[in-house]
Copies of this chain bind each other. A is one copy, B any other.
Amino acid sequence: MATSEIVVMKFGGTSVAEPDDIRRAARRIVAARQAGKQVVAVLSARGKTTDELVSMAREVSDTPAAREMDMLLSTGERISCALCAMAIHDLGHNAISLTGSQAGIVTDSSHTRARILDVRADRIRTALTEDRIVLVAGFQGVSGDSRDVTTLGRGGSDTTAVAIAAALGAEVCEIYTDVRGVFSADPRLVEDARLLPIVSFEEMLEMAASGARVLQLRSVEYARNHEIRMHCRSSFEDGTGTLVVSEQDTMERPSVTAVTHAEEARVTLAGVRDEPGIAGRVFRALSEANVNVDMIIQNEPVSVEQKADLSFTVEADHLRDASEALGGLGISERLETDERVGKVSVVGAGMRSHPGVAAKVFETLGQNGINIEMIATSPIKISCVIDAERIPDAVKVLHEAFELGSEAVRREDPTGTHRPVVPPEDEDRSTVEAA
């Protein structure tokens, strides 16, 4: 046993929402065990459980204490794990559920957004050598100093899974969700969006940061830093899904891999004194208010008054906190906010060696009458802030311009390197169902 391959499987909230879903996840887990793997499964809270627990807390208190929020929220994943262990027992296999603490997920003590400091996986290892399937409650840990229950914040369960995979030396961390993998654009907006069989960590990071919701940015970062391959798959149907791997493992890439989009809010500080340290004060204040800033644009002052405009985008949920944090600083003449702006991005590791991608993005949007309000770039991404209403159009025309669709790829790539791996809708699921 000790030498067989370890696989870590993570199931999201919709994948364990109802009893049937839990039994389906149990069958997938058992199938992997029967295929000779040692299996650790990390589970999220069922469906809307976390939302319900948060509402409960809000009903009791307007400002729930963070430590107690963690005690409260951590119950959701424990419920999923206990129920799934029962379902696995019914399939004739031995399973054991562990809390984050029992699984050795040691964190700092930043309640509701703790960082993983260490994974002391002794208990998981022992259970695996006893031929057990191990279920771990995602999203949670225990603080190293105070021994309190902590939660990891958004994307926590994915991060739990990747961290355990790294600690155990697992070859792959499989992320099961309600979608079939990572697509070249949102299939709800672009009909022939293509399932990407393989993307690099860098591309996945840019995509996650710019609107692709399949994998959480944080877990991808952790996976990249520890070189853990992630495999994003549907828990509802079979299919090859998307592998997220190191760049050296990917093939020669086209210039652009995917088009992503998001809605954000924008804050503009108009008439900011142009002196050293101002920007530092602004973003320190935002950081202390726990506001995640996305794009930042500052135009250079050209007038004699030496005043600049500073704009940035934030998640819509953070707009109020951002305004409050900056309101008291008194460093701008005006504070303007826009509750809803659109952002469209093209991402591709091949962009580095293909000049002209930026020009093509801007031309395409311009030709389609879509005004670009802000621009931000990285070596493998170009993002444009546009009118939120124009997002669907912008995604479609960019997806077409860079020939990302499954039809376009079939036509242009006779080598089959980019053969679409979208499984047929009526595929045979019997391998899992029969397990």
Using a CB–CB cutoff of 8 Å, the interface residues on chain A facing chain B are 19, 22-23, 53, 56-57, 59-65, 67-69, 71-72, 74-75, 78-79, 81-87, 89-90, 95-97, 99, 102, 123, 147, 149
Whole-angstrom distance between the Cβ of A250 and the nearest chain B Cβ = 40
How far is B64's CA from A95's CA once the two chains are assembled, in angstroms? 12
**Contacting pair A68 B90 (CB below 8 A):** no
Assess the B86–A147 pair: CB atoms within 8 A. Answer: no
Asked whether A82 and B71 contact (CB < 8 A) given A23-B60, A60-B19, the answer is yes
- Whether the pair A59, B19 counts as a contact (CB closer than 8 A) is yes
A60 touches B96 (CB 8 A): no
A68 and B97: CB pair below 8 A? yes
Most chain-B Cβ atoms within 10 A of its Cβ — which of A57, A79, A87?
A79
* Contact sample, A vs B, 26 pairs, CB 8 Å cutoff: A19-B56, A56-B79, A57-B82, A57-B83, A57-B86, A60-B87, A61-B86, A61-B89, A62-B90, A63-B89, A63-B90, A64-B89, A65-B86, A65-B89, A67-B85, A68-B82, A68-B85, A68-B86, A68-B95, A68-B97, A71-B82, A71-B99, A75-B75, A75-B78, A99-B149, A123-B147
List of B residues within 8 angstroms of A68 by Cβ: 82-83, 85-86, 89, 95, 97
Task: List chain B residues, Cβ under 8 A from A19.
Answer: 56, 59-60
A60 and B89: CB pair below 8 A?
Answer: no
A78 B89 Cβ-Cβ under 8 A:
no
Contact indicator A82/B69 (Cβ below 8 Å): yes
The chain B residue sitting closest to A61, CB to CB, is B86
Contact with A64, one of B56, B75, B86, B149 (Cβ below 8 angstroms)? B86
Nearest-neighbour CB distance to chain B for A46, whole angstroms, equals: 9
- Residues of chain B within 8 A (CB-CB) of A72 are 78-79, 82-83
Residues on the B chain within 8 Å of A56, using CB: 19, 79, 83
Assembly CA distance A79 to B53 (angstroms)? 8
Which residue of chain B lies nearest to A75 when distances are taken between CB atoms in the complex? B75
